[in-house]
């Protein structure tokens, strides 16, 4: 594909919006090995949902490059019970940051979407061309609609004003900094927490939501950060790019993998009153591969690292 470019981060002020989140904190870690100045803003300094606060902060700090890793995010339960927050917060954040980036002349901006933008029954693995070809998965359509609007904003500002704004669509993530909250979080963190607790408490079984049959793909979050920095430097075009591994696993197999890395010998039961969500979600990552990037961390290593991080994190003993 055309669009290979070279944007240098050297000597630049680079704002990571959402630096406290799982993806944002990994981007900050990855940027330590670039010769740039990393800018971050806490929520008490700038509420990204408020246009005036975003404008004032960006006009004062004048970032050259921006990663939009900020957003209201969560797992299948959070998405289906807090639709207004998932839609409004994410629309407001992306509209405020993208428009202000254009106004102040940001050189390069990368918007992070999500694999849930694709139709529920999109042919698998999902290519970028599947966008807007069918109905969305109802459990996360609010978040998906907001993320689709974010992609379109980047494309519109590129078309109308020539802004160098690009978008990346990461698959499900695993690794340090995940939301370890059983109600609000995603399956990777939930399985790690549940299996760890069951091991400590000597419980013979762990309950899993749904049938265990859905298939998901998982990318190690530090691999994601590496791919995003790679795109920032080497990609400049209107189409967004999938970021993933291109391989998937069933929730049941995943539970067994987590049991293995945690040394848990019990078994799993399935709560079929909880939703399965999409039957299968796996990305086609040919575009990213053709640009020259592939994921490095294996599924087992990813979950082993995430498990270790969870067990060793500060305050772990209090959980
Ligand atoms: P999704 O990828 O948007 O569906 O979001 P999740 O990561 O929350 O869920 C992925 C799949 O894992 C769904 O089929 C869930 O039903 C299943 N799952 C199994 N156990 C759990 C759990 O304890 N928490 C969550 N969040 N999902 C679970």
pLDDT digits (tens, 9 = 90+) for 241-295: 999 999 999 999 999 999 999 999 999 999 999 999 989 999 999 999 999 999 9
Q: How far is CA 185 from CA 22, 174, 201, 287, in A?
A: 11, 11, 22, 29
Å from CA of 75 to ligand 1 middle: 7
Task: Please report the pLDDT score of residue 39 as a whole number.
Answer: 98
Structure tokens of 166? 């690009």
- Which residue's CA is the nearest one to ligand 1's atom 28? 187
Tracing tokens 């010769």 back to the chain, one arrives at 35
- Which residue's CA is the nearest one to ligand 1's atom 25? 187
Q: Tell me the best of 73, 76, 169 to mutate to test the pocket of ligand 1, counting ligand atoms within 8 Å of each CB and taking the most.
A: 76
List of E strands, 272-308: 280-281
pTM, two decimals, is 0.95
For the cut 60, the answer to whether the pLDDT of residue 79 exceeds it is yes
Å from CA of 306 to ligand 1 middle: 17
Tracing tokens 């995943």 back to the chain, one arrives at 254
**Residues lining ligand 1, judged by CB closer than 6 Å?**
75-76, 116, 140, 172, 185-187, 190, 208-210, 214, 216, 251, 274-278
42-52 pLDDT per residue, tens = 999 999 999 99
Structure tokens of 280? 């299968």
Å from CA of 17 to ligand 1 middle: 26
Active site residues: 143
64-78, 88-102, 149-163: the lowest-pLDDT one: 64-78
Question: Would you put residue 216 in left (φ > 0), alpha (ψ -120 to 50) or beta?
Answer: beta
């Amino acid at each position: 594909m055309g669009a290979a470019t070279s944007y240098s981060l050297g000597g630049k002020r680079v704002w990571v919006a959402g630096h406290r989140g799982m993806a944002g904190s990994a981007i900050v870690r990855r940027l330590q090995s670039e010769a740039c100045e990393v800018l971050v803003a806490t929520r008490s300094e700038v509420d990204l949902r408020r246009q005036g606060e975003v404008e004032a902060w960006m006009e004062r700090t004048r970032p050259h490059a921006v990663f939009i890793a900020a957003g209201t995010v969560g797992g299948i339960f959070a998405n289906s019970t807090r639709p207004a927050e998932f839609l409004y917060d994410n629309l407001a954040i992306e509209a405020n940051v993208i428009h202000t980036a254009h106004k102040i002349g940001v050189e390069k901006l990368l918007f992070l979407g999500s694999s849930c933008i694709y139709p529920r029954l999109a042919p698998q693995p999902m290519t970028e061309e599947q966008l807007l070809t069918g109905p969305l998965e109802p459990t996360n359509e609010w978040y998906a609609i907001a993320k689709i609007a974010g992609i379109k904003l980047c494309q519109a500002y590129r078309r109308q004003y020539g802004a160098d704004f690009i978008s990346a669509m990461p698959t499900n993530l695993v690794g340090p900094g995940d939301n370890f909250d059983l109600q609000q979080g995603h399956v990777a963190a939930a399985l790690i927490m549940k299996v760890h607790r069951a091991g400590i408490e000597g419980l013979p079984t762990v309950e899993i939501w749904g049938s265990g049959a859905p298939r998901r793909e998982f990318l190690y979050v530090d691999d994601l950060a590496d791919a995003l920095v790679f795109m920032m430097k080497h990609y400049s075009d209107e189409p967004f790019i999938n970021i993933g591994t291109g391989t998937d696993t069933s929730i049941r197999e995943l539970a067994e993998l987590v049991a293995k890395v945690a040394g848990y010998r019990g078994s799993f039961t399935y709560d079929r009153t909880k939703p399965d969500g999409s039957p299968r979600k796996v990305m086609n990552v040919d575009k990213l591969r053709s640009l020259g990037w592939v994921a490095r961390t294996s599924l087992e290593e990813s979950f082993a690292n995430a498990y270790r991080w969870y067990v060793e994190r500060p305050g772990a003993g209090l959980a």
